[in-house]
Structure 1
Amino acid sequence: MTTPTAAPATAAEALTGLARIRPAGWLATPMPTDPATLLARARQALAADHPGIDGRLTVISARYTAAVFTVHRPDGADPLVLKLHADAAAYAGESLAYALLNGTAPIARLHAEGDNSRSLLLEYLPEPADWTSPKTPALLAGHVAAVHTASLRLPGEAAQAMNGFTTAALLDAPAPAWITGPAAYREVLAAHLDAYSPHLVPLGHLDLKPEHLRRRPGGDVVLLDVESVRPDVTGLIDLITLPAVLRQAGHELAPARVLDLYLEATTAQGARWTTDSLKTALRAYAAATALESLHGLDR
């Protein structure tokens, strides 16, 4: 392993300065914090939207926007994960992410959705990936690249439904409100057009953490939690966080090596990035989003 130059301590710090989409306190009806109230809401969601699924519930996490539970079923069936959203738009966004990524990228399986309760039933994956393996950084880069290119593998009907979010369509549309540099944002999209095709939906913004890389009992490794993935953010945001995530997991790779891993992984998925074009795109992304540092990835 090589030592990184000025690598941030956490993935959150890696994105210092990034234009924020919502201010603190934006959600009028946040998820309750009381455990009893949370469990009651989870039981109500199962009864209303997931008939036949029952069992002992335990709270995995409770945040402002969402709560996650394990459903321990009494019939000996595998446990499931129940996720409840407080915000309808966040639920719709995660449902869209699963629609785009299930079958096209290595992510946790979606079992069912509940529109009325804004709930998702997901595969239960308690086993972490083996971060002691020297092959894990390349595996993570490959999984991230698979998400970024998932739209190129969509069946015809799904691809048609995403026509409004392709690189070509976004180039012709106004820049999103969260972008601070519209001209630089168009440079980012133009770089993606050159690296992929007009039909790419530039998915990005995975919530990358070491604990979100999980292993199935059979050995397959998948990404957990695609809640924050969005079309229009692009995968560059995830590339920028990769050095920090790897460092947290004990792999202190130099930024140049992380860039190489991402280049190799995206090339395997059909991309035409070069080292220079990817660095140019990263600089444009920083200018478009008010990002303060690329942590050596552009050098």
Structure 2
Amino acid sequence: MTTAPATAAQALTGLARIRPAGWLATPMPTDPVDLLVRARQVLAADHPGVDGRVSVVSARYTAAVFAVHRPPPECSLVLKLHADPAAYAGETLAYALLADTAPVARLYSEGDSSLSLLLEYLPEAAEWSGPRMPAVLAERVAAVHTASLRLPGEAAEAMAGFTLAALLDAPAPAWIADPAAYGEVLAAHLDAYGPALVPLGHLDLKPGHLRRRPDGEVVLLDVESVRPDVTGLIDLVTLPAVLRQAGHELSPDRVLGLYLDATTALGGSWTVGSLKAALCAYAAATGLESLHGLDR
């Protein structure tokens, strides 16, 4: 497999599935006035008592994000609106799994009728120039991947159908190209973590999604894409490209080492050999075209 440098957008070539134009029946509006009207309606209907000046942060086909600016001593907030019910359900599930066990933005409330989330406002970007940042990012990613090992009892019971023990006896997901290779991936995770792990992965990793709280803690934003069946290997493949995009030119071996150290500290028992074998099986299972040197 090639070791040519890849951008964050190119890192998962072969894995992405392009949806056809018009796949979403009711996409998010694009007009800024329409967006602001919808945001204020949602706040009034599903998040009563929350008011302030509203501004558009981003607007995409599937979702829109707003800042709700409130004067001190109140804290400003983020309002996220989904146009896709499946994406909303996935993000609420991700927060249920990660809120108390991984460094992600705080979720304050949900609005099922409006497909909305009210979140912690974190305008300050993480400082990427420091030499510790690659290790910090690896730690944050590993905390998400191992979050299910730290779930309270009730939440763990609710996720029993997504554990490795359950997935090993279930058919491979429809998006898997090679079910036998997918079985190897799950078996490798079983050896590394045990049967109770929910194999979370598919973070939308990019430098802008790492933010800093006023106390200095670095947290991840936007867990909408996290799923309990893809495993964290998808994020490990993306890590070198994200770090390069942020100005850190690390060798694949160094990135692999940072991830190994982080997962070991959080309960994993990967070895270099077992992790590389799992990555190769993952590429075969998903159609991923390159591991960008992580398998060497």
Per the normalisation by structure 2, the TM-score is 0.97
Cα contact 1:27–1:87 (8 A) shared by 2: yes
- Structure 1 CA distance for aligned equivalents of residues 108 and 84 of structure 2: 21
Change (3 A) 1:199 1:21: farther
Q: CA RMSD in A?
A: 1.3
Q: What is residue 175 of structure 2 aligned with on the other side?
A: 178
- SS of alignment partner, residue 80 of structure 2: strand
Q: Which residue of 2 is the match for residue 274 of structure 1?
A: 271
1:114 has 2:98 as partner: no
TM-aligned CA deviation for residue 219 of structure 1: 0.8
- 1:83 aligned partner: 80
Secondary structure in structure 2 of the residue aligned to 1:54: coil
Query: Which amino acid in 1 is paired with 2:181?
Result: A
Residue 55 (structure 1) aligned with residue 52 (structure 2): yes
Taking only the aligned residue pairs, the percentage that are identical comes to 80
- Unmatched runs of 5 consecutive residues or more in structure 2: none
Give 3-state SS (helix, strand or coil) of 1:292's partner: coil
Task: Give the aligned residue type for 2:260.
Answer: L
Q: Residue by residue, what CA displacement relative to the aligned partner does 1:190-211 show, whole Å, maximum 9, x if unpaired?
A: 0000000100000000000011
CA separation of 1:19/1:180 partners in 2, compared to 1, >3 Å: closer, same or farther?
A: farther
1:31 matches 2:23: no
Q: Which residue of 2 aligns with 1:41?
A: 38
* Aligned length in residues: 295
1:20 and 1:192 map into 2 onto residues whose CA distance is 25
Q: Which residue of 2 aligns with 1:255?
A: 252
Q: CA deviation at 1:122?
A: 0.5
Amino acid corresponding to residue 122 of structure 1 in structure 2: L
* Counterpart-to-counterpart distance in 2, 1:214 and 1:193: 32
Indicate conservation of the 8 Å contact 1:259/1:297, yes or no.
Answer: yes
Q: Match for 2:219 among 210, 222, 234?
A: 222
For residues 146-204 of structure 1, what are the alpha-carbon distances to aligned partners after superposition, in whole Å with 9 as ceiling and x for unaligned? Answer: 00000010000100000110011111111111111111111100000000010000000
Gaps of 5+ in 1: none
The residue type paired with residue 87 of structure 2 is: A
Partner of 1:96: 93
> Offset of 1:23 from its aligned partner?
4.0
> Matched residues in 1 for 2:242 and 2:178: separation?
27
The residue number in structure 2 matching 1:152 is: 149
Partner Cα separation in structure 1 for residue 116 and residue 127 of structure 2: 30
Q: Residue 72 of structure 1 contacts residue 80 of structure 1 at CA under 8 Å; is this kept in 2?
A: yes
1:208 aligns with 2:205: yes
